[in-house]
Amino acid sequence: MTFTTPTGRLRHALLATVLACAVALVGGFGATAGHAADPGAARTADPGPTVVGGTQAAQGEFPWIVRLSMGCGGALYTPTLILTAAHCVSGTGANTSITVTQGVVDLQDPARVTRTSDYVLQAPGYNGTGKDWALIRMSQPINGVPLLKLATDQSLHNGSFQLIGWGAASEGGSQQRYLLKATAPYITDTQCKSAGGSYANLVVDEEICAGDWTNGGVDTCQGDSGGPMTKRDAANEWIQIGIVSWGEGCARPGKPGVYTEVQHFATDICTNAATIGGCQTPPSGISVTNPGAQTSTVGSAVTPVGHTASGGTAPYAWSATGLPAGLSISSSTGQITGTPTTAGTSTVTVTATDSSSPAKSGSASYSWTVNPPTVPGCSGTNGTDFTINDNATVDSPIAISDCPGNAGAGATVEVHIVHTYIGDLLVQLVAPDGSLYTLHNRAGGSADDINQTYTVNLSSEVANGTWNLRVNDNANADTGRIDTWTLNLGGGTPAGCTGTNATDVAIPDNSTVNSTIALTGCTGNASATSTAEVHILHTYIGDLVVTLVAPDGSTYVLHNRAGGSADNINQTYTVNLSTEVRNGTWTLRVQDAATADTGTIDTWTLTL
């Protein structure tokens, strides 16, 4: 991490006195207290972090991890090559000054394996920003030890990661004798950049963040630089996701650890490793392109989403899991097409399997959000410019008047704001009843402009009325304007999605009768707040079981022999039908379960 504060650091360099203590602790394995990378214009080398909030690792738990004598970590890339951070070394060329320690948790354990370096290769073009990787070649291999394979795609960029190292266990603390481990959650690039300071300049294609954003307490720290951030894959094999790089302080809330994104450099690392000893075989042998997060709308055909694969033996067979309903993937081309039928968000994993024997495979994972259909009258746009002055609040209204019922749980707000420092801004959606929904809360630091679509659960809000986009500028020196915004409430009832059957149907004793409504003009699924308005004439409603039957035969009991000797049912029932396709024949089924009383289905109305 950068030296923006006394405790900020790249996770390599320690103060000379602390390093000296660490060297003495492990028996002085050729450490060089001042061995640090050229810091570049913005970042200062610092033999890095230890695992904060960790516990002691078990002997043999991470056989591929190594300790480097300049106060960094690393991992076995091949039997002769160590992968570490670029800021841990001082350039490319012959180097016999680094001692590698492997095979032990306790650095004083006499069973430790040591090797001496003979060559260092720093990432070509490294200047202190991004590209924070390097290879160290040992004069003799370490054989018979599992290697740590590199990620070649972003499919494991989720959940939590394993942090490992001998670095400090607290900010400003000394490096450790025993190997520590901890887990830290993935943090998106957008959230990481919102931490401000050096984080605003995160190199999003080359760096990945992890840590407990809210509470802090878990992180790498000084002395962990160059060590691996890992995760097990579907085959339960450890895969290296990142290389400990930098951060501000150690384990501070809102200041996560930043790691070199290994998958981005896997090919470069392989190419360069081949020049000094050999490349590691990729984990799967197949690399699949990742198209990134996808967004579509119920009832609207998607623009085909393509994928390509490299490695292995073509042709490839394609498959996918997690696809939204209505979409499919071509097994021969890897192209996803179709028309979504159900709103929601899912994780799609696309896999390519090659033609070799045994077959190799690779995959890519990304999110896919399907928004509810746009309902006529339930959306609107305000394209009038509204000036945002310093320390001022401005509202931009949209009036909705033809949208029956409540808004939807997947309502969207598309916002375009021109402003030179979006970290000043609080952006909220104001419902007609005054309820506030925060969309953006002073994130983004010095970044310019907001161009984003937010999904908001507005199912508790009546759709009709005047909605406002409220923007509050909370600081001096930067101004802007609301350029345009669009509100899609995703609620209401599309034309053709309601029907009534007013034909009388007699209900004899001890019999079951049906009354039907056929719907053909709808799209997608019914809503979670569908209604069935029922009017039945009967002299003893305690005899009756009233059931709504969906087109696929699913049943929803509305009334089950309640009410005793009371006469007639005149009631509107709210039913969650969100799993049911709207179009088809719906049935109101009435069973008379006792003798002596009869009646009639008078009329009923279904609104989906």
Could you read off the pLDDT of 37-81 as tens digits, one per residue?
332 222 333 333 345 667 899 999 999 999 999 989 999 999 999
Overall average pLDDT of the 526-530 stretch: 82
- In the block, tokens 């190419």 appear at 271
pLDDT of residue 89 exceeding 90, the answer is: yes
Overall average pLDDT of the 448-453 stretch: 88
Please write down the HEC assignment for all residues of 353-390.
ECCCCCCCEEEEEEEEEEECCCCCCCEEEECCCEEECC
* Listed range (307-321, 343-357, 435-449, 591-605) with the worst mean pLDDT: 343-357
Model pLDDT for residues 167-222, shown as the tens digit of each residue: 877 777 777 889 999 899 999 999 999 999 999 999 998 999 999 999 888 878 87
Give 411's pLDDT tier (boundaries 50, 70, 90): confident
Which token pair is 205? 């294609």
Residues, the chain, total? Answer: 608
Active-site residue among 35, 87, 440, 538? 87
Q: Radius of gyration (Cα) for the chain, nearest Å?
A: 31
- pLDDT at position 190 is 94
Overall average pLDDT of the 385-414 stretch: 88
DSSP 490-558: --S--TT-EEEE---EEE-TT-EEEEEEEE-S--SBPPTTEEEEEEEEES-GGGEEEEEE-TTS-EEEE
pLDDT of residue 599 exceeding 50, the answer is: yes
Give 495's pLDDT tier (boundaries 50, 70, 90): very low
- pLDDT at position 207 is 96
Overall average pLDDT of the 316-332 stretch: 93
- pLDDT at position 115 is 96
* Listed range (81-95, 283-297, 461-475) with the worst mean pLDDT: 283-297
Amino acid at 94: A
Which token pair is 439? 């969309």
How far, in Å, CA of 387 to CA of 26, rounded?
Answer: 63
pLDDT of residue 11 exceeding 60, the answer is: no
How far, in Å, CA of 495 to CA of 523, rounded?
Answer: 10
Give 399's pLDDT tier (boundaries 50, 70, 90): very high
Rounded to the nearest integer, the mean pLDDT of the chain is: 84
Active-site residue among 132, 219, 424, 592? 132
- pLDDT at position 375 is 64
Residue 497 vs residue 65, higher pLDDT? 65
Q: What dihedral do alpha carbons 553, 556, 560, 562 form, nearest 10°? A: -150
**C-alpha 351: how far from chain center:** 19
How far, in Å, CA of 440 to CA of 450, rounded?
Answer: 9
87 is catalytic: yes
Model pLDDT for residues 117-133, shown as the tens digit of each residue: 999 999 999 998 899 99
Contacts of 148 (CB under 8 A, 6+ apart): 64, 65, 75, 76, 77, 83, 228, 230, 238, 239, 240
Overall average pLDDT of the 492-510 stretch: 78
H/E element, 189? helix 189-193
Overall average pLDDT of the 317-321 stretch: 93
Overall average pLDDT of the 288-307 stretch: 86
Handedness of CA 274, 156, 451, 438 (dihedral sign): negative
Model pLDDT for residues 238-264, shown as the tens digit of each residue: 999 999 999 888 889 999 999 999 999
Beta strands in 175-252 (DSSP E): 180-187, 207-210, 228-232, 238-247
Residues 78-110 as b/e (b if ≥16 CB within 10 A, e otherwise) read bebbbbbbbbbbbebeebeebbbbbbbbbbeee
- In the block, tokens 């390509």 appear at 308
CB 515 within 8 A of CB 588: yes
Which burial class, exposed, middle or buried, applies to 503 when counting CB atoms under 10 A from its CB (0-12, 13-18, 19+)?
exposed
Overall average pLDDT of the 445-469 stretch: 89
132 is catalytic: yes
Apex CA 172: angle with CA 170 and CA 177, to 5°? 60
Residues 131-153 as b/e (b if ≥16 CB within 10 A, e otherwise) read bbbbbbbbeeebeeeebbbbbbb
DSSP 411-444: EEEEEEEEES-GGGEEEEEE-TTS-EEEEEES-S
Give 374's pLDDT tier (boundaries 50, 70, 90): low
pLDDT of residue 507 exceeding 60, the answer is: yes
CB 556 within 8 A of CB 524: no
Q: Report the half-sphere exposure of 76 (CA within 13 A, side-chain side).
A: 25
**C-alpha 557: how far from chain center:** 38
In 3D space, the residue among 250, 185, 189 whose CA is nearest the CA of residue 48 turns out to be 250
Q: Residue 268 phi/psi, 5° resolution? A: -60, -40
Q: Residue 201 phi/psi, 5° resolution? A: -100, 20
Active-site residue among 194, 225, 459, 515? 225
Helices and strands in the chain: count of H runs, count of E runs: 3, 42
pLDDT of residue 324 exceeding 80, the answer is: yes
- pLDDT at position 355 is 87
- Number of Cβ atoms within 10 Å of the Cβ of 545: 16
**Max Cα-Cα span within the chain:** 102
In order of their start, the domains of the chain are 1-283 (2.40.10.10), 289-295+307-369 (2.60.40.10), 379-488 (2.60.120.260), 498-607 (2.60.120.260)
Please write down the HEC assignment for all residues of 254-319.
CECEEEEEHHHHHHHHHHHHCCCCCCCCCCCCCEECCCCCEEEECCCCCCCECCCEECCCCCCEEE
How far, in Å, CA of 333 to CA of 351, rounded?
Answer: 12
